[in-house]
Chains A and B, each alone.
Chain A
Amino acid sequence: MARFPEYYTLWDRTGIYALRAVAGLVLFFLMAPILVIIPLSFNAEPFFTFTEGMLAFDSEAYSLRWYGSILENPNWLLAIRNSFIVGIAATILATTLGTLAAVGLANSAMPYRRLITALLLSPMIVPLIIIAAGMFFFYTRFNLVGTHLGLIIAHAALGVPFVIVTVTATLAGFDRSLYNAGIGLGASPMRAFRDIVLPIIRPGVISGGLFAFVTSFDEVVLVLFLAGPDQRTIPRQMFSGLREQINPTILAVATLLVLVSGLLLVTRELLRRRSDRLRGV
């Protein structure tokens, strides 16, 4: 590791080692809490901490019982199903509307572009509790509270900014002359969009969709205000579990969710590389 230039004093070198140590500690701080819950979820006892048996690696102290109890509990199963229904539907809604709008916003002829972009991005900034209260008041009038549709609309609104941001980013590198060439060769605007623009911005669209899905999948404040017992989702179920009755089933669910987020992270990373390649970056 002695690759420092000669003019580095001992003091400077210590600084660099210290930096490394600090960076390592911060990474530990980021990862350790997430890693801790994984072994805990295999605890044979109904506790949230390591038992003596677990520390001694006694196989008796580990079990899959909390994973089993997810499958046995109809409330968890309903929650899992709802999370996917709401998440997928909200993602489709947000991605479709968001992609069209992003394409429109990329057009230099678009009037009030800055203002409209700011408006469309604002669901990302307003605190969820305010959105939740407002939606509770407003959606009640349309009988949307306590329905899947209400939740889908609410989550789609939250997901829209992410789609706009990611699609706009891919469009920024898009060479408009490709589209013009397509039109020039006789394609209809629809066809030119579908066959030329969409394949190029697709990584951005999918990436925005992923963000929209994760936003919905992870969201609990709006669910607390807008969902009835029929619409409980995984985070809602976790929230009430943490509030009322702590048992390691939640840790088992949490471990599964860490796996899901790992998968999403990999997917997005692959998409990003593909997008960079397509745009020739």
Chain B
Amino acid sequence: MMTAVSDQLHGASSPDALTREEILASRRQLRRRRLVALGLVAPLLAFIIFAFFAPIATMLYRSVYNPTVVELIPDTLAALGTWDGTGTPDEPVLTALAIDLKRLANERTAGRLGEEFNRALPGTSSLVKSTARKLRRADDAELAASGATMLGDIDERWTSTDLWNAVRETGRSFRETYFLTALDLERTPEGGIQLRESARIYIPLYIKTLRIALVITVLTFLLGYPLAYYLAHAPPMRANLLMVLVLLPFWTSLLVRTTAWIALLQTNGVVNSLLMGVGLTSEPLEMMFTEFATIVAMTHILLPFMVLPLYSVMRGIDPSYMRAAMSLGSKPIPAFWRIYFPMTLPGVSAGGLLVFIISVGYYITPALVGGTDGQMISNIIAFHMQQSNNWELAAALGALLLVLIMVLYWVYDRLVGADNIKLA
């Protein structure tokens, strides 16, 4: 730096124009600074790509890619080849399946095939598994000669068109079926797309999730706004002291707070004992394992995320605006609505969007206090990951949730600015 500056002082013939060397030097310097900056960021970027983005990408890939059936019954699928989707496929196809099933029964993988078929055509898992069990000890030569007849004899469903459409459907490694299921859609026999005829599950659940998130956002706003207002206008000493009461819950473990709500809301819990003690109810109220419990506990947990941005916006508002309004004759309450409240809107949108985004993806609290009707979309994703082992559907539901979050994040970025996330 020093040398560059002294060169400039001595070597410049005209004070305005830079020499070629100077331009080059400054370009070199810029390039060096850029390299240094990149070098500093690169390790973290590489780490995040490995630790975070690659997993997300894998999940997105899983939502459309599932080679299980292709790997399990390659011969059947090869024989099925050009079947047109009407009637029953030719005998060699059925024979190939009979042979594949026997092999699967002995490899103990018939269950996986049954599971895949079952997702395309409910009820098929039991058919696959019981047939495989019966074919397990079948004679190879007999199977090769009359496998098709044997299948038909075990169960006539093996000759149905629906079943073979399911085989063909699941026999593609790349498929959009999981997204269709996640959107409560299904394919018609003719290949079109329609709303699922049986129970519609996921769209109502997304709507319910958004509704719960909205209720929580509104509640945190209704509770948080007066508190933030009070804190922002209290004398600094008292405000700092009371702020601790907001920050301590914020820093307290999520599970501790959820535990507290379980202790409070249980049938024989603190709230019920209190209500019955003062004689407000004679019977304990059912609060645990309901949507009510989910909403109350999450409102409590997320309230600081609303209070903190509101507080910091309110602290920055010049009190002279309100004074000016009132000295011009406005009453305090109209002045508040017309002058003060609009100035706090950035805080409202920051806090509101933050609370909304966090609640849409919430898992732990609904899982512990929500029972059956307080479950949200994250819980069903966890369910398909851990209980039903339908990982592809979990991935598709996750991908949709991700899109939803991205849209909300984009709105947040527009309104608030992503780098303005404040941490207490």
Q: Is there any pair of Cβ atoms, one from A and one from B, under 8 angstroms apart in the complex?
A: yes
**B378, CB-defined interface residue at 8 Å:** yes
Chain A positions within 8 Å of B398 at CB level: 129-130, 133-134
Say yes or no: is B343 at the interface (Cβ < 8 Å to chain A). no
CB of B326 within 8 A of chain A?
yes
Interchain CB contact under 8 A, A116 and B260? no
User: For the side of the interface on A, what is the size category?
Assistant: 35 or more
* A97 contacts the other chain (CB 8 A): yes
A119 and B48: CB pair below 8 A? Answer: yes
Contacts of A214 in B (CB 8 A): 251
A residues less than 8 Å from B62 (CB atoms): 137
CA A245 to CA B395, docked complex, whole Å: 31
Contacts of B259 in A (CB 8 A): 37, 238, 242, 250-251, 254
Which single member of A23, A31, A34, A120 contacts B44 (CB below 8 Å)? A120
- Chain B positions 1-28 with a Cβ under 8 Å from a chain A Cβ: 1-2
**Interface pair A220/B255, CB less than 8 Å apart:** yes
A125 & B409 in contact (Cβ 8 Å cutoff): yes
Find out whether the CB atom of B244 lies under 8 angstroms from the CB atom of A101.
Answer: no
Cβ of A134: which chain B residues have Cβ within 8 Å of it?
A: 55-59, 398
Question: Is A189 located at the chain interface by the 8 A CB criterion?
Answer: yes
CB of B247 within 8 A of CB of A265, answer yes
What residues of chain B lie closer than 8 Å to A101, measured between beta carbons?
40-41, 43-45
In the bound complex, residues from chain B placing their C-beta under 8 Å from that of A98 are 44
Select from chain B the residue with minimum beta-carbon distance to A164.
B44
**Pairwise interchain contact A156-B264, C-beta atoms closer than 8 A:** no
Which of B41, B224, B226, B368 is in CB contact (< 8 Å) with A19? Answer: B226
Give every chain A residue within 8 A of B381 (Cβ-Cβ). Answer: 129-130, 133
Q: Which of B96-104, B174-182, B416-424 contacts A (4 or more CB under 8 A)?
A: B416-424
Given contacts A29-B300, A124-B421, A261-B251, contact A153 B51 (CB under 8 A): yes
Give Cα distance in the complex from A38 to B226, angstroms. Answer: 28
Q: Which residue of B lies closest to A38 (CB)?
A: B260
In the complex, which of the residues A116, A123, A242, A258 contacts B45, with contact meaning CB atoms closer than 8 Å?
A: A116
Question: Is the pair B55, A131 in contact by a Cβ cutoff of 8 Å?
Answer: yes
Q: Chain A 124-166, CB within 8 Å of chain B: the 1/0 string?
A: 1111111111111111000000000000011011001010011
> 1/0 per residue B189-226: CB within 8 Å of A?
00000000000000000000000000000000001101
B225 to chain A, nearest CB (A): 9
Residue of A nearest to B60 (CB): A134
Complex partner residue of B59 from A128, A133, A242, CB under 8 angstroms: A133
Q: Which of A100, A133, A235 contacts B255 (CB 8 A)?
A: A235
- With A34-B256, A101-B41, A127-B401 as given contacts, are A26 and B229 in contact (CB-CB < 8 Å)? no
Assuming the contacts A36-B264, A246-B262, asked whether A26 and B227 have C-beta atoms less than 8 A apart, the reply is yes
Interface centre among A11, A119, A264 (most CB of B within 10 A): A119
Beta-carbon contacts under 8 Å, B241-267 to A = 242, 244-249, 251-264, 266
Contacts of A257 in B (CB 8 A): 252-253, 256
Chain B, 25-55, contact with A by CB distance < 8 Å: what is the 0/1 string?
Answer: 0000010011011111101110110111111
Give CA–CA (A239, B258) in the complex, Å. 10
Interface-facing stretch out of A43-51, A56-64, A66-74: A43-51
Query: In the complex the two chains form, is B248's CB within 8 Å of A239's CB?
Result: no
Indicate if A228 sits at the interface (CB-CB under 8 A).
Answer: no
Q: Which of A15, A33, A242 contacts B368 (CB 8 A)?
A: A242
Partner-binding segment picked from B118-126, B128-136, B150-158, B358-366: B358-366
Q: By the criterion of a CB under 8 Å from any partner CB, how many residues of chain B are at the interface?
A: 94
- Helix, strand, loop or mixed for chain B's interface? helix
Which chain B residues border A124 with CB–CB below 8 Å?
A: 421
Closest to A142 in B: B50
Flag whether A42 is at the interface (Cβ < 8 A): no
CB <8 Å contact, B394 and A133: yes
| Cβ of B415 under 8 Å from chain A | no
Which B residues touch A168, using CB under 8 A?
419
The complex places the Cα of A40 from the Cα of B38 at a distance, in Å, of 53
Of A49, A127, A162, A165, which contacts B360 at CB under 8 A?
A127
Q: Is A22 an interface residue (CB 8 A)?
A: yes
How many angstroms between the C-alpha atoms of A105 and B45 in the bound complex?
11
**A156 proximity list for chain B (CB < 8 A):** 47, 51
Q: Complex: how many Å from CA A8 to CA B330?
A: 11
- A2 CB-CB contact with B under 8 Å: no
Identity of the chain B residue whose Cβ is nearest the Cβ of A98 in the assembled complex: B44
**Given A30-B249, A97-B43, A133-B398, A20–B230 Cβ distance below 8 Å?**
yes
Q: Does B111 contact A (CB under 8 A)?
A: no
Contact B44 A137 (CB under 8 A): no
For the complex, is B81 an interface residue (Cβ under 8 Å from A)?
A: no
Contact of A97 among B44, B226, B357, B402 (CB under 8 A): B44
* Closest-CB distance, A78 to chain B (whole angstroms): 17
Which of A111, A116, A119, A137 lies in contact with B55, CB distance below 8 A? A137
Shortest beta-carbon distance from B33 to chain A in Å: 4
Looking at the complex, which one of B38, B59, B253, B363 makes contact with A221 (CB distance below 8 Å)? B363
Distance to closest chain A CB from B218 (angstroms): 15
Q: Which residues of A contact B361 (CB under 8 A)?
A: 126-130
Name the A residues within 8 Å of B47 (CB-CB): 93, 97, 156-157, 160
Pairwise interchain contact A242-B258, C-beta atoms closer than 8 A: yes
Check B340 for interface membership: any CB of A closer than 8 A: no
| Centre residue among B36, B44, B259 by max chain A CB count within 10 A | B44
Contact call A211/B56, Cβ cutoff below 8 A? no
Q: Is B257 a contact partner of A50 (Cβ separation < 8 A)?
A: no
Decide if B256 touches A26 in the complex (CB within 8 Å). no
- List 25 A-B residue pairs with CB atoms under 8 Å apart, sorted by A's residue number: A20-B230, A22-B226, A26-B223, A33-B257, A36-B264, A49-B266, A97-B43, A100-B40, A107-B40, A111-B37, A117-B419, A120-B45, A128-B361, A130-B405, A133-B391, A165-B421, A221-B363, A224-B386, A235-B254, A243-B368, A246-B262, A250-B259, A251-B263, A257-B253, A264-B251
Interface residues of B (CB under 8 A from A): 1-2, 30, 33-34, 36-41, 43-45, 47-48, 50-59, 62, 223-224, 226-227, 229-231, 242, 244-249, 251-264, 266, 268-270, 273, 300, 303-304, 326, 331-333, 357, 360-364, 367-368, 378, 381-382, 385-386, 391, 394-395, 398, 401-402, 405, 409, 413, 418-419, 421, 423-424
Minimum-distance CB pairs A-B, first 5 = A127-B361, A104-B40, A134-B55, A23-B230, A134-B59
Given A127-B405, A128-B378, output 5 extra A-B contacts at Cβ < 8 Å: A15-B333, A37-B259, A104-B37, A117-B419, A125-B357
